[in-house]
A and B are shown apart, each in its own frame.
Chain A
Amino acid sequence: MSAFWTVLGKELRLEWRTRESVAVMVIFSLAVILLFAFAFNAGSTSIKLFAPGLLWMTYFFSAVLGLLRSFGREREMDAYDLLISSPVDRGDIFLGKALAFALLLALTQVVSLPLFSLFLDFPLATASPMIIPIFLLADVAIAAVGTVVAGIGLRSPHGDTLLPVLLFPLLTPMLIATTRSTSAALADRPASEYDVWLMLLLTYSVVFLLLGTFIFDYISEQ
């Protein structure tokens, strides 16, 4: 497990020194939300209805950028080859990278969510505190699937185009569960009304974290 902490620490330290991924994700998601606001006429009441969906679509897109950035770094000076040739369990490498990316996503959301609530006019202050586990679980889910898929893309000649094409269909059930529970939590509904979505989100995250841990060995080989 020490390899896990090493990789996690390395990812976070890198991000702290460059601040690339989070900056790109925040700026990009702001730009997308602005486009959505203009495309759907932000003044109308109907945008409130779509807000959770728009929100997560935006985070999906910015996650793709963040993943590309995070794995793009590994290409430089063959960093990735050194990483996977170290004598540690590749499952630990996967978990370290995935959870580090989930944290970066969460950080992006901490910065951008208050702005979105301002622009799209949805209440953040009155939302149920359940919103925090929902977002964290969703970030873990995106990061788990994203890390496997980005790992595939890393060594492929057209990897950067493969990433969204592979990622989005795999994430559909998770998108449904997340938008449903987000909109319920924003309206401060009791958790019992959307516990089925929370369970799905939890199952999804656990399944793909486990699958990624076992499978990462096969995609990191030369």
Chain B
Amino acid sequence: MVKFHSIRGNQLFLAATVVVALINLWLIYNVSPMIRDQQMAQKIFYYHVPLAWNAFLAYSVTGIAAIMYLRKGEPRWDRWSLAGAEIGTTFALLILLTGPIWATPIWGKSWSWEPRLTTTLILFLIFMGYFMVREFGGPYERASRYAAVVALLGLADVPLILSAVKWWAPEVQSHPQMEMLQQSALIQQLFLFSLASFTLILVHLIRYRHHAGELEYAHLQKQYGDGDG
């Protein structure tokens, strides 16, 4: 198999993604208006929300691929599942980092048991378990199957976690959820642009990771012959 970035289409996609990301950066710092009370801190939303969106999309890829893998047993689904899980967890970590950066000046403290923040943290921990199963689950094929099961358990848990932590601390409800929609048209357009830009990054990363997974698998097969590797 060839390297991911020696494929012409991928080069073009990467170039487009970088250009759009740079434009996005420029727009956020130079064009997007300041919001009263929040000043510079508000700008993190052009990152934070798209990061959450990306994590959500990536974990959806994991969930769908995990179901397909369990049903069909075709290894290619396992690589999609792994790619989604790794990229999704990376974005989940970024959510957990950018949230407190914003919360420190606005809420006056870095951590609060806000439902979505808490859910992200728990999901992050579940996927740490997922990677441990990948590492320690035994032979490649079995570890993949176990990992798919853990992913499904974890994703089935998400709505339950979310409602549990929501009712658990009803006083902590200061997540600025609808604020984005109440902002001016310019802010909304810039926000959508940022969302698109981050989605491009996500698509590229997942495809890249998937490709790397295929290379790993091909390598394993060469080393150990056909079968489970």
5 contacts between A and B (CB under 8 A): A155-B142, A161-B136, A169-B154, A170-B126, A176-B164
The listed residue (A149, A172, A180, A219) touching B161 by CB distance below 8 A is A172
* B213 at interface by CB-CB < 8 Å: no
The listed residue (B149, B161, B163) touching A215 by CB distance below 8 A is B149
* A124 at interface by CB-CB < 8 Å: no
Check if B168 sits within 8 Å of A156, measured CB to CB. no
A contact set with B: CB distance below 8 Å: 145, 148-149, 152, 155-159, 161-162, 165-166, 169-170, 172-174, 176-177, 180, 196-197, 200, 203-204, 207-208, 211, 215, 218-219, 221-222
| Given contact pairs A156-B133, A156-B136, A162-B129, A173 touches B160 in the complex (Cβ within 8 A) | yes
Check if A203 sits within 8 Å of B133, measured CB to CB. no
- Docked CA distance A17–B145 (Å): 35
Interface residues of chain A: helix, strand, loop or mixed (majority):
helix
Q: Which residues of A contact B148 (CB under 8 A)?
A: 218
| Given contact pairs A169-B125, A172-B161, A211 touches B156 in the complex (Cβ within 8 A) | yes
Count B interface residues, CB 8 Å: 30
Check if A200 sits within 8 Å of B164, measured CB to CB. yes
Query: What are the 7 closest A-B residue pairs judged by CB atoms, nearest first?
Result: A173-B164, A169-B125, A166-B129, A158-B136, A173-B160, A176-B164, A169-B126
The listed residue (A156, A158, A162, A172) touching B122 by CB distance below 8 A is A172
- Docked CA distance A148–B154 (Å): 12
Check if B167 sits within 8 Å of A148, measured CB to CB. no
- Docked CA distance A176–B166 (Å): 11
* B165 at interface by CB-CB < 8 Å: yes
- Docked CA distance A13–B138 (Å): 31
In this complex, what residue of B is CB-closest to A163? Answer: B129
Give the one of A155, A172, A177 with max B CB within 10 A: A172
Check if A211 sits within 8 Å of B152, measured CB to CB. yes
* B100 at interface by CB-CB < 8 Å: no
In this complex, what residue of A is CB-closest to B73? Answer: A218
- Docked CA distance A157–B136 (Å): 6
In this complex, what residue of A is CB-closest to B150? Answer: A166
In this complex, what residue of B is CB-closest to A197? Answer: B167
| Given contact pairs A172-B161, A207-B160, A162 touches B167 in the complex (Cβ within 8 A) | no
Q: Which residues of A contact B128 (CB under 8 A)?
A: 165
B140 to chain A, nearest CB (A): 13
- Docked CA distance A152–B156 (Å): 17
Q: Which residues of A contact B161 (CB under 8 A)?
A: 172-173
